[in-house]
Structure 1
Amino acid sequence: MNEDLINFIWRFRLFNQKALVTSRNEPVEIISPGFYNSHAGPDFADVKVRIGSTTWAGSAEIHIRASDWERHGHSTDKAYNNVILHVVYENDLRVLRADGTEPSMLIIKPYIPENIKERYRQLIENMNWIPCEKQLPHVDSIHIQNCLDRMLVERLEEKSAQVLELLKHNQGDWSETFYILLCRTFGFKLNALPFELLARSLPMRILDKHRDSLFQLEALLFGQAGFLEEAAADGYIQSLQEEYRYLRHKYALKSIEQYLWKHLRLRPQNFPAVRLAQFASLVHRSVHLFSKTLEAGNAAELSKLFEGISMSSYWETHNKPGRECARMAAQLGKDSVNNILINTVSVALYSYGRYTDNSQFISRSISLLESLPVEINRIVLRYREIGVKSGSADRSQALLQLKKKYCDQKKCVNCAVGARIINSA
């Protein structure tokens, strides 16, 4: 038995409510199970029950075993003095509140239907790619859509919380925060961390001073990335090294370690040096990029902010400092632009909407995702095989959240689809 399941059963009253009695054999009537509390304190607030002839209003606490009350420290926590009903699966201990009184206890085990426990067991114990893989094709599409709508908002809320924390670190500077987010996105998943460390080591205000010179921007970015530490392989890299030595001394900079960068299983056009060259060109071309992002009216206008970014000629034929390669496309591809819009722009818009309490930016964030093509990755493709449709980026983002936060962790009772399956007739 799982405490999440008991919470689920209590919340939706999925137990036999006739002839309920407490551990002291007092009749119990559940007038209202209350509201789930995701913060500190008892599990359910605003609970209303009738025990014997007395109606009580307060909180309810859910446990597998009664002794969990002691194990969790509730017997000395005054926040639990208003618990009017202790709901347990097994009664193995008499417990007291901090004020010395004993809360009424409901042993819910005898009242839970066996079919509910069996459906939950089938979900949790199977070894399929997702727990509900076999049952999912039989779930009504409207329930799946509602689940994915919730997943998208949850994902944006989680990401925006991280953005607002970064904003706090940057003392409310949105341009600096957006710069770090954008730099991280340029690294894709594999090099997101070193790109972020690079951005944190090289404030935007320094790049702004050299925006007019692409050469100086490359010297700063490649130098801070640790790519200019080795002996120069050609004249251009030697020139970058000389320029970086001057700028490093001028701004008292310290580069990150070169070993942090990953190349394994990356296509050459996605090597860190190529992405750095593209980022340098973006900084060189863009002024007040965050302000322009806020002002852009739709996906087409936002795309134009990142399209047509050409690397300097050296990097068109080099994918590492000093390493020549076949000529590459100089501009950011459509997929790369969409990746920026999905993982940086939409998140920044949502976060700014939360920060300013302006729902228009939140709506624009979601509308942007709805207008962009779906991301193609192994998770989205596998859900498609199972029968879950994904037409645009809002759905692929929702599926990533569902897989990572719920399916992988088997939190089926907290998922609308899993709850539907468990509670099915």
Structure 2
Amino acid sequence: MREELLHFIWRYRHFHQQGLVTEDGRPLGIAFPGEPNTNQGPDFRDAKLSIGGEALTGAVELHIRSSDWLRHAHDGDEHYRSVILHVVWEHDLAEPPGGIPVLVLQDRVAKPLLSRYQHLMRLQGFVPCERQLSAVGTGVWRQWMQTLATRRLQRRALVIFGWLEHLRQDWEETTWWLMARSLGQPVNAAVFEAVARSLPLRLLRRHRLHAPTLEALLLGQAGLLKEGEGAYREYGFWQTKYGLRPVSQPVSFLRMRPGHSPGLRLTQLAALLADGKGWFSIVRDAVSMEEVLQALSGVKGLGAEMRRGMLINAFIPVLFAYGQTEKALRWMEGLRAERNATVRSWQRLGVVAGDAAGSQALLELKNEYCNARRCLECAIGRALLAA
């Protein structure tokens, strides 16, 4: 037994509830098991119970063993004074700690549920439940995919809020960092972000009408201008005039197709800044995503897939963070699903993304839930365990 499984069993009441009694023999009724508490203190708050015929509202604490209450030093912690029930897997104390009623669940949980959970935790494969996916109804999938797409945007928004705080709420600079990171995908995202951080827009805008200078600044910061090359001799000032130093992390050329070479992507990034466009303003004010795609189409070699990628990885997240949530979700649902190894692996299992919101949801599911085996927090895992 693991504590997260015990939480799942209690929260969704996956135990026999007829004739419930506490260890001291008092009848127990559960009107509401409580809300999970994400802050300091007991595991569940605002539970509504009846114990010995008395209606109670308060907190519920869960442990594998009742002695864990003492082991975790809850007996002297004021945060646990509101606990009205101690739910445990096994009771290993002669007296309930703190005099709090104890409910033991060990003999009230169906063995198949425990077996299914152990099975999920042990299976090796792309995802733990890959052989059981067809057993989950389409309604569960549909709702969970919508939730995952939103959660992915919410996670990205938290990153953006952190950047904004660092940049004193400069949305244009933040969007510049996102654009650079997006064009560095998937191998050089961190390096391209570092290049953008080292070259503020106020510097780049001085040269917005001279594309070669912008290219030299970006290539130089990425360490792609070598002494002795014509580009270095012509634009070598990037290192001396501005007192700049290349970023410490080198770009990667691993398994890189010519059309995705770091040098070409940085040149395209320079072209996006060449006329001084404020990309955040463009995206914020655009009525449709086609307007943004059209604005991106003027950059030589920036194909349709990369333009869609910039929408998904840069512009839509910044819209979501800015508060244009409906617009962000509508644009995501209007884009074709991404093509990458993770999405293709889901497709082989019969799970197909119909649009970019779907492919983003599948990436979130794989990276944030399946890889960490957070099956108890996943709607698919919960449906399979409860079957």
Q: How does 1:170-181 map to 2 (within 5 A)?
A: 170-181=167-178
Distance, in Å, in 1 between the alignment partners of 2:78 and 2:256 is 56
- What corresponds to 1:421 in structure 2? 384
- What corresponds to 1:244 in structure 2? 238
8 Å CA contact retained: 2:64, 2:88 = yes
- What corresponds to 1:319 in structure 2? none
Distance, in Å, in 2 between the alignment partners of 1:5 and 1:150 is 22
What is the CA distance between 1:27 and its match in structure 2?
1.9
8 Å CA contact retained: 1:185, 1:192 = yes
Out of 314, 339, 363, the position equivalent to 1:344 is 314
8 Å CA contact retained: 2:222, 2:250 = no
What is the CA distance between 1:306 and its match in structure 2?
1.3
Distance, in Å, in 2 between the alignment partners of 1:34 and 1:111 is 19
1:84-119 superposed Cα distances (whole Å, 9 cap, x missing partner): 11111122347888xxx4322111111111122122
TM-score, with length taken from structure 1: 0.87
Q: How does 1:67-216 map to 2 (within 5 A)?
A: 67-93=67-93, 101-216=98-213
- What corresponds to 1:314 in structure 2? none
Out of 217, 222, 226, the position equivalent to 2:223 is 226
| Distance verdict in 2 for CA 1:295–1:96, change over 3 Å | farther
8 Å CA contact retained: 1:133, 1:386 = yes
Distance, in Å, in 2 between the alignment partners of 1:247 and 1:142 is 61
What is the CA distance between 1:71 and its match in structure 2?
3.9
> Bigger shift: 84-93 or 171-180?
84-93
Distance, in Å, in 1 between the alignment partners of 2:173 and 2:378 is 36
> Bigger shift: 286-295 or 20-29?
20-29
- What corresponds to 1:397 in structure 2? 360
> SS of 2:75's equivalent?
helix
- What corresponds to 1:408 in structure 2? 371
Aligned AA (2:233): Q
Distance, in Å, in 2 between the alignment partners of 1:10 and 1:182 is 45
Distance, in Å, in 1 between the alignment partners of 2:375 and 2:353 is 21
8 Å CA contact retained: 2:218, 2:270 = yes
| Distance verdict in 2 for CA 1:226–1:236, change over 3 Å | closer
> SS of 1:74's equivalent?
coil
1:110-156 superposed Cα distances (whole Å, 9 cap, x missing partner): 11111221222222222232121111112111111111111111111
1:29-72 superposed Cα distances (whole Å, 9 cap, x missing partner): 11211112223322111101111132211011122222333344
| Distance verdict in 2 for CA 1:24–1:222, change over 3 Å | same
| Distance verdict in 2 for CA 1:95–1:408, change over 3 Å | farther
> SS of 2:38's equivalent?
coil
| Distance verdict in 2 for CA 1:236–1:404, change over 3 Å | closer
Aligned AA (2:246): S
| Distance verdict in 2 for CA 1:271–1:72, change over 3 Å | farther
Distance, in Å, in 2 between the alignment partners of 1:18 and 1:124 is 30
| Distance verdict in 2 for CA 1:133–1:245, change over 3 Å | closer
Distance, in Å, in 2 between the alignment partners of 1:219 and 1:413 is 51
Aligned AA (2:245): K
Q: Show structure 2 runs of 5+ residues with no match.
A: none
What is the CA distance between 1:76 and its match in structure 2?
3.2
8 Å CA contact retained: 1:30, 1:50 = yes
Aligned AA (2:228): A
8 Å CA contact retained: 1:95, 1:103 = no
Aligned residues, how many? 387
| Distance verdict in 2 for CA 1:114–1:179, change over 3 Å | same
**CA RMSD of superposed structures (Å):** 1.7
- What corresponds to 1:274 in structure 2? 264
- What corresponds to 1:263 in structure 2? 253
Out of 335, 358, 369, the position equivalent to 1:372 is 335
> SS of 1:265's equivalent?
coil
Out of 281, 299, 309, the position equivalent to 1:291 is 281
| Distance verdict in 2 for CA 1:290–1:49, change over 3 Å | same
| Distance verdict in 2 for CA 1:366–1:80, change over 3 Å | same
- What corresponds to 1:54 in structure 2? 54
| Distance verdict in 2 for CA 1:278–1:264, change over 3 Å | same
Out of 344, 352, 355, the position equivalent to 1:381 is 344
- What corresponds to 1:358 in structure 2? none
What is the CA distance between 1:246 and its match in structure 2?
4.6
Aligned AA (1:372): L
Distance, in Å, in 1 between the alignment partners of 2:18 and 2:178 is 55
1:155-190 superposed Cα distances (whole Å, 9 cap, x missing partner): 111110011011111111111111111111111021
Aligned AA (2:244): L
Distance, in Å, in 2 between the alignment partners of 1:296 and 1:198 is 27
TM-score, with length taken from structure 2: 0.95
Distance, in Å, in 2 between the alignment partners of 1:171 and 1:72 is 42
8 Å CA contact retained: 2:30, 2:49 = yes
